[in-house]
Amino acid sequence: MSVNRTMSEIATHAVATECSRESDQGLAPIQPGATLGVVGGGQLGRMFAIAARQMGYRIAVWSDEAGPAAECADVSLVADYSDVAAGQSFFAQIAALTFETEKLPLDLFRRVPAGTPIRPGIRFLEMSQNRLREKGGLQAAGLPVGPFAPVRSLAELEAGVATLGTPAILKTASGGYDGKGQIRIDAAEDLDQAWRSLNTDEAILEAFVPFVDEISVVAARDVSGQCVTYGPIHNTHRHHILDVSYCPVDLTADVRRRAVDITQRIAAEFAVVGVFCVELFVLADGRVWINEIAPRPHNSGHLTIEGHATSQFQQQVRCLCGWPVGSAEQLKPVAMANVLGDCWRSGPPDWGSVASRWPQVQWHLYGKTEPRPGRKMGHLTATAETPAAAVESVVAARQVLSHRSNEL
């Protein structure tokens, strides 16, 4: 099996002529007072709703289960995404539609009335829903991704391992997140067992990338094609979940330029209108490869709320409504630490100590009642004179928050 041939076979090359209603460029911006729709009810939808309300919009959230966004919405629909009648009455109330997760059925968007803008568009969403489509589409557009192979059977897994070598990472093509649906394949791996345990009929095998840094760039592109970027933002993960992000990052000018250039090219190539994030690997020799795209605001971009002139959520509102993008100027070095359910392990978090000892730390809670280990409950942000000082504040505050002050 030739990896290249297979790549071109699967490359859908989501086209520049984005299918969404980007022809609505000439339409007047949607004015405050209108109702904006968001599909998905998690914390990203909640922070979008908060930004939208601040800007004078009403918010309608459609989620298939109760979640944190509804609390901040004017209209909340909890219904299966296949519910056509519920969708019709939801769409009738909104002036424009966005989404806060990519794990959504495309059919829902195909039922949206023709005059209602969907931003970003359906093709960009579709590409990012499937790792094979995404990597194939990016590669076909000449954008840098690591070596990969499609896997739809044990034979293809064996062929992929023979071509790419080990270690490698086998991931479900769709549906995985935060490291779920992933298996590291080492030389001695029982491939039959690995393939069966993934329990899928479509996967991607990726060569293990020996990255020196993981970074992301968040972008906002408006209807006129003007695109601003945030970052690169530096990201560290724990147990595959984002742990700490900070910005600015000490990178060479070349690496920085490559990361921003890749992001701008994705925005233009796929005619994105809205906010998206590109997660990138930085290699020791300065090459930058795309890991994945999120077609929406991203956890690493939460630090833009305090760190930048316009937050990623305000940009989402601006782009959705047809306004020009706002300034992405960074105001101060900034860091963010996620607060997971684990912080509740030794009892309710110690917010009092955080408030009194770290006045520079802001906390955000998503209104989730059940603090399960690994569940994103909120995040902390700090600005400081240097990124290192900002990281130190959020990490120290989080330790005290979760009664782990002895680890300081």
Q: Does 240 engage in binding with ligand AMP (CB under 6 A)?
A: yes
Closer by beta carbon to ligand AMP, 81 or else 208:
208
Q: Does 18 engage in binding with ligand AMP (CB under 6 A)?
A: no
**What are the tokens at 377?**
């409950």
* Residues in contact with 348: Cβ distance below 8 Å, sequence separation at least 6, in sequence order: none
Query: What gap in Å lies between CA 107 and CA 118, rounded to an integer?
Result: 13
Task: Return the residues of window 82-141 that contact ligand AMP according to CB under 6 A.
Answer: none
Q: Which stretch binds ligand AMP (CB under 6 A): 109-117, 201-209, 301-309, 313-321?
A: 201-209
Identified binder of ligand AMP from the candidate list 79, 86, 104, 209, rule CB under 6 A: 209
Decide: 206 and 134 in contact? Cβ < 8 Å: no
Task: Return the residues of window 293-332 that contact ligand AMP according to CB under 6 A.
Answer: none
Query: What gap in Å lies between CA 116 and CA 223, rounded to an integer?
Result: 14
Place of tokens 């791996």: 189
| Nearest of 95, 119, 99 to residue 222 by alpha carbon | 119
Closer by beta carbon to ligand AMP, 17 or else 236:
236
Identified binder of ligand AMP from the candidate list 146, 150, 160, 307, rule CB under 6 A: 146
Closer by beta carbon to ligand AMP, 120 or else 146:
146
Least Å distance, CB 279 to ligand AMP, is 6
Identified binder of ligand AMP from the candidate list 179, 225, 324, 348, rule CB under 6 A: 179
Query: What gap in Å lies between CA 202 and CA 291, rounded to an integer?
Result: 18
Least Å distance, CB 146 to ligand AMP, is 6
DSSP structural state of residue 70: G
Closer by beta carbon to ligand AMP, 67 or else 147:
147
Least Å distance, CB 269 to ligand AMP, is 21
**What are the tokens at 4?**
């290249």
Identified binder of ligand AMP from the candidate list 291, 304, 311, 402, rule CB under 6 A: 291
Decide: 61 and 70 in contact? Cβ < 8 Å: yes
Q: Which stretch binds ligand AMP (CB under 6 A): 39-47, 205-213, 216-224, 299-307?
A: 205-213
* Residues in contact with 265: Cβ distance below 8 Å, sequence separation at least 6, in sequence order: 141, 143
- The identity of residue 255, as a single letter, is V
Least Å distance, CB 147 to ligand AMP, is 9
Question: What are phi and psi for residue 349, nearest 5 degrees?
Answer: -60, 150
> Total number of residues binding ligand AMP (CB under 6 A)?
12
Q: Does 292 engage in binding with ligand AMP (CB under 6 A)?
A: yes
Q: How many CB atoms lie within 10 A of CB 252?
A: 10
